[in-house]
Amino acid sequence: MYDTGATAFMLVCAMLVLLMTPGVAFFYGGLARRKNVVNTMFMSFVIIGVVGLVWILAGWSIAYGGDGSNPFFGGFDQLGCLTSVSDMLAEAQSPVDGSYPSIIDILFQAAFAMITAAIIGGAVAGRMKFAPFIAFITVWVLVIYAPLAHMVWGGEGSFIGDMIGALDFAGGDVVHISSGLTGLVLCILLGKRRGFGAIAHRPHNVPFVVLGATLLWFGWFGFNGGSEFAADGIAALAVLNSVIASGAAMISWMVVESVKTGKPTLVGAATGLVAGLVVITPAAGFVEPWAALVMGLIVSPICYFAISYLKAKLGYDDALDAFGCHCVGGITGGILTGVFCVPSLSWTEFGGLLYTGDFTLLGAQVLGILVTIVFVAIGALVIGLVVKALFGGLRVSKEQEAYGMDLAAHNESAYPAFIGLD
């Protein structure tokens, strides 16, 4: 028989991660303008259907199929997950001690793909056509996300995880750098929102932001804890580190914001919480709790700088700061993993610089991040240009943007009494 405890643990973790995508919808929906809240939430919520279908049809196979001989992608032997039930029944005949049905991994990894794709929508909120967005995500999951997941988590022979030797416990490269960087590419292709830099685009519903951050915080425990794939001490460490890093980052963000503006904000605290969860994601099962605290304290000033200064200086319009929070936070976490990784917890024979004085792991982390950046940036740009050509553009008209995406794209309003002037 399967280990019922391990099975229950992984099922719960998968369900927690599935909760994160609606969490992103509320988080982004609260940050959006009133006239765009339905569209913004819809761009996250629709991911459940789009990625759910794509993952079963081909995503899972490309990411984790094959015999492990290809360092860049899995294979096509599990298209449609057609063998999943027969494989489960075969496994049940002679399960390994402490194991759970591998079919759960399909669900768990599908939830990862969903939350990753949902993050992208924050960068393009308020100005991207709905249909091209769906088309882009469909192709992106198959061409970018699934191969990247294989390169990092494909086990022996995988390009980033094995050949380069970079560590990514729960998705610093695969989830956060890939989604945040893709968001940056798309928002550059789209151009700036009307009035960007001249009009204050304030969050329209702060309670929505907090609700979304809370759902993300709760779901993240399954995200990081479940990435151990066992109900053991490492899973517990990953969850503990997630709590510590997120709390430290929240406080750090409040301090930075208070120094910069004179007052802390609830939106800032929620953003800091998310930044702390991002930074610990690649390191969750590799570092000690004190290191998680340090990582949380470090990441908020870096992300705050990216959001408040770098964006204005470079002139890109990342509407809801997907790049500034997720990509920058993911890069920070990946690099710090190379510093703080406990040698005995490492998946490779190399530990963190702080413990060993050896730059090997830190170098592998940097190289893995650079490979991820190049692969994702080029791939997202090509997909974006192709989708743009096929749909005759990515951006809605000036009139539709001014009117509001909710009514223009969906003939629907979050607030029926609102007449579209905000």
Distances (CA, A) of 107 to 72, 214, 220, 228, 379: 22, 22, 16, 15, 26
Whole-prediction pTM? 0.96
Radius of gyration of the chain (CA): 21
Neighbours of 349 (CB within 10 A): 9
What tens digit of pLDDT does each residue of 196-209 get? 766 777 899 999 99
- CA–CA gap between residue 359 and residue 364 (Å, rounded): 9
**What is the predicted pLDDT for the residue at 198?**
67
- CA–CA gap between residue 325 and residue 309 (Å, rounded): 13
**What is the predicted pLDDT for the residue at 93?**
80
Q: Which of 381, 373, 376, 367 is CA-nearest to residue 335?
A: 367
**What is the predicted pLDDT for the residue at 312?**
87
**What is the predicted pLDDT for the residue at 316?**
93
pLDDT digit string (tens) for the chain, length 422 residues: 788 899 999 999 999 999 999 999 999 999 999 999 999 999 999 999 999 999 999 999 999 999 888 999 999 999 999 989 988 888 878 777 768 999 999 999 999 999 999 999 999 999 999 999 999 999 999 999 999 999 999 999 999 999 999 999 999 999 999 999 999 999 999 999 887 766 777 899 999 999 999 999 999 999 999 999 999 999 999 999 999 999 999 999 999 999 999 999 999 999 999 999 999 999 999 999 999 999 999 999 999 999 999 998 999 999 999 999 999 999 999 999 999 999 999 999 999 999 999 999 999 999 999 999 999 999 999 999 999 999 999 999 999 999 999 999 999 989 876 555 55
Tell me, what amino acid is at 349?
E
Q: Which of 220, 237, 219 is CA-nearest to residue 228?
A: 237
Q: Which of 168, 200, 71 is CA-nearest to residue 368?
A: 168
User: Could you tell me which CATH number the domain at 4-410 has?
Assistant: 1.10.3430.10
Neighbours of 131 (CB within 10 A): 11
Tell me, what amino acid is at 384?
G
Instruction: Note the Cα 213 to chain centre separation in Å.
Output: 14
**What is the predicted pLDDT for the residue at 91?**
82
Report the residue count for the chain: 422
Q: Which of 105, 21, 129, 123 is CA-nearest to residue 55?
A: 105
What tens digit of pLDDT does each residue of 241-291 get? 999 999 999 999 999 999 999 999 999 999 999 999 999 999 999 999 999
**What is the predicted pLDDT for the residue at 202?**
86
